[in-house]
Amino acid sequence: MITSVRADEAAYETMRALLLVGGMGTRLRPVLSSKPKSLAPIGDISFLELLALQLRSQGIHRLVMCTGFQAEQIEEEFGDGSKWNVTIEYSKELEPLGTAGAIKHAARFVSEASDFMVLNGDSFLEVDFCELIRFHRRRGACASIAVRRVGDAARYGTVHVDEQGRVVRFSEKMAIPEPGLINGGVYVFNRKVLRLIPDGPASLEKDVLPVLVEHGTFALEQNGLFIDIGTPEDYARAQSLCRQLSEAAVSTPHSTSQEHLTR
């Protein structure tokens, strides 16, 4: 038992998180013409710094930035990560690869790990990473997704789950507003997912997640703050929530400790 506990502790401490920050952010161009979307200012810091702080505050110190559009700005801003007491490496795509293609392009950073995390670079979800990782491992999942229940899931698409939390299907964005579970943009993947991503450009949401349903994909519902900055309206909302986002980024959930990880 002690050996098992120590193995789980080591796995958590060495967990890598891929941050998908290569998108062009076309819809934000009217308000953010000279920066990549992930560097959009939220108060005194960038949106991407909120994500880095959230990971660090919960003990995830090994980050990989999957960059593309205006990659140099992100590398100049974050460097090796020492300013935030994290280690940052970069996987730069030379042509747009989409969200799934970016993950496969970064395979060399995570192919030796049993599991790795992925975060969208344009959304923030208040989530207990330790709880999500533990949930993933206990179910022997191929993929685990943090989901959030919202009053209007129409613009996001819906995640459908059974009583055990297993994902049974994904629905595309709908024309009629209705409540539902949405993908919060935070994942834990087993490394075998890398083999299921096609070569070349591919979308995680459209091309890969529907395939992963057949391989054991689970969803863990979260109740905290959720925001994305995909549109000028949502970006304005994120700025209005600056203080709440900053507090959520540095808060430490109760289960984020090695003691709780292995229970």
Report residue 241 as tokens: 């929530």
Query: What is the Cα–Cα distance from 232 to 156, expressed in whole angstroms?
Result: 16
Query: What is the Cα–Cα distance from 99 to 205, expressed in whole angstroms?
Result: 8
- Residue with the two structure tokens 């969208």: 120
Which 3 state secondary structure label does DSSP give 253?
Answer: coil
What's the CATH code of the domain at 166?
A: 3.90.550.10
Report residue 156 as tokens: 């996001």
State yes or no: is 192 an active-site residue.
no
- List 104, 173, 192, 206, catalytic entry: 173
Q: Residue 128 has what pLDDT?
A: 97
Q: What is the pTM of this model?
A: 0.92
Query: Could you tell me the residue range of the domain that residue 231 belongs to?
Result: 2-261
Secondary structure E strands in the chain: 16-20, 41-42, 45-46, 62-67, 87-92, 115-120, 123-125, 143-150, 158-161, 167-171, 180-190, 217-222, 226-228
Euclidean distance between the first and the last CA atom of the chain, given in angstroms as a whole number: 11
Q: Which of 85, 86, 44 is nearest to 65 (CA)?
A: 86
pLDDT in tens, the chain (263 residues): 444 444 455 567 789 999 999 987 788 877 777 889 999 999 999 999 999 999 999 999 999 999 999 999 999 999 999 999 999 999 999 999 999 999 999 999 998 899 999 999 999 999 999 999 999 999 999 999 999 999 988 888 899 999 999 999 999 877 678 899 999 999 999 999 999 999 999 999 999 999 999 999 999 999 999 999 988 999 999 999 999 999 999 998 866 544 444 33
- How many domains in the chain? 1
Torsion of CA 17, 20, 21, 22, to 10 degrees: 140
